[in-house]
Amino acid sequence: MAYEVKKDPNADLDYGFDWTAWLGATDTITESTWVVPSTSGLTTHSPSISTNGRVTTVWIKAGNVGAVYSATNHIKTAAGREDERSLRVTVVER
């Protein structure tokens, strides 16, 4: 499932996912990686996992006006589960 966001090409903003419902009562995220195609024109930085181990975040900047990009978050949990979710990033002038 992809979630959609719109950003200005000059914006440097944080985006992420709240995995709480998927994790259940006791599991937590131990590893989080973010991937964007190397030719996309988007730049990611400062990936993080919240202190409670349930929310992942990454900062995204740049991009070309009118372009649509994908940023995918892959996680691993303490219980050994793995999953991923994608952001659909549309770049628009604001």
* Whole-number pLDDT of residue 41: 82
pLDDT of residue 60: 94
Contact 57, 35 (CB under 8 A): no
Helix (H) or strand (E) segment spanning residue 20: helix 20-23
User: Which domains occur in the chain, in start order?
Assistant: 2-91 (2.60.40.10)
42-49 and 68-77 strand pairing: unpaired
The model scores a pTM over 0.75: yes
Q: What is the pLDDT of residue 1?
A: 55
Task: Mark the ranges of the chain whose per-residue pLDDT is less than 50.
Answer: none
